[in-house]
Amino acid sequence: MKRTYRRLVAPVLAVLLLSACSTDSETETVEVAEVTRSIFYAPLYVGVEEGFFADEGLDINITTTWGGDTTMTTLLADSADVALVGSETSIYVHAQNPSDSVVNFGALTQTDGTFLVSREPIENFTFEDLRGKEYLGQRAGGMPQMAGEYALAQNGIDVDEDVTLDQSIDFANIAGAFASGSGDFVQLFEPQATEFEEEGLGYVVASFGEESGILPYTSFITKESTIENNEEMLVKFNRALYKAQQFVQEEDVETIATSIAPYFDETSEQLIAQVIERYRNQDSYAKDPYIDEDGWEHLQNIMDDSGELPERFDYEELVNRSITDQALE
Please check whether residue 2 lies inside any domain of the structure. Answer: no
Please check whether residue 4 lies inside any domain of the structure. Answer: no
Least confident span in 1-15, 112-126, 186-200, 208-222: 1-15
Alpha carbon distance 222, 225 (integer Å):
8
pLDDT tens digits along 98-120: 999 999 999 999 999 999 999 99
Spatial contact of 271 and 265, defined as CB atoms under 8 Å apart? no
The pTM of the full predicted model, rounded to 2 decimals, is 0.90
β-bridge pairing 218-223 and 82-85:
antiparallel
Please check whether residue 1 lies inside any domain of the structure. Answer: no
Tell me: pLDDT of 295 over 90: yes
Alpha carbon distance 157, 213 (integer Å):
17
Band the pLDDT of 26: cuts 50, 70, 90: confident
Other Cβ atoms closer than 10 A to 160: 9
Give the alpha-carbon dihedral of 17, 18, 22, 28, to 10 degrees.
Answer: 160
Query: What's the pLDDT at 2?
Result: 37
Residues 26 and 129 both lie in one domain: no
Residue 297 lies in domain: 10-111+215-328
- Position with higher pLDDT, 26 vs 291: 291
Dihedral pair phi/psi, residue 99, rounded to 5°: -70, -30
Band the pLDDT of 171: cuts 50, 70, 90: confident
Residues 98 and 144 both lie in one domain: no
Residues 206 and 222 both lie in one domain: no
Residues 129 and 258 both lie in one domain: no
Query: What's the pLDDT at 25?
Result: 52
Residues 175 and 89 both lie in one domain: no
Residue after which a domain boundary falls, among 212, 246, 268:
212
User: 223, exposed or middle or buried, with CB in 10 Å at 0-12, 13-18, 19+?
Assistant: buried
Please check whether residue 39 lies inside any domain of the structure. Answer: yes
Tell me: pLDDT of 310 over 50: yes
Q: What's the mean pLDDT in 282-301?
A: 98
Count of domains observed in the chain: 2
Residues 159 and 282 both lie in one domain: no
At 77 the three-state DSSP class reads coil
Residue after which a domain boundary falls, among 175, 195, 212:
212
pLDDT tens digits along 176-211: 999 999 999 999 999 999 999 999 999 999 999 999
Query: What's the pLDDT at 214?
Result: 97
Chain length of the chain: 329
Alpha helix segments (H runs only) across the chain? 10-14, 42-49, 52-55, 68-76, 88-94, 143-154, 174-179, 192-199, 208-212, 224-250, 253-260, 269-281, 293-305, 315-318, 322-328
Residues 103 and 234 both lie in one domain: yes
Residue after which a domain boundary falls, among 181, 212, 243:
212
Residues 280 and 299 both lie in one domain: yes
Percent of the chain past pLDDT 70, that is, above it, reads 92
pLDDT tens digits along 40-77: 999 999 999 999 999 999 999 999 999 899 999 999 99
Q: What's the mean pLDDT in 136-161?
A: 95
Please check whether residue 5 lies inside any domain of the structure. Answer: no
Residues 167 and 120 both lie in one domain: yes
Spatial strand order in the sheet of 102-109 = 58-64, 28-34, 82-85, 218-223, 102-109
Residues 259 and 321 both lie in one domain: yes
Residues 235 and 255 both lie in one domain: yes
C-alpha closest to that of 42 among 246, 328, 197, 193: 246
Residues 300 and 267 both lie in one domain: yes
CATH number at residue 53: 3.40.190.10
Dihedral pair phi/psi, residue 81, rounded to 5°: -90, -30
Please check whether residue 320 lies inside any domain of the structure. Answer: yes
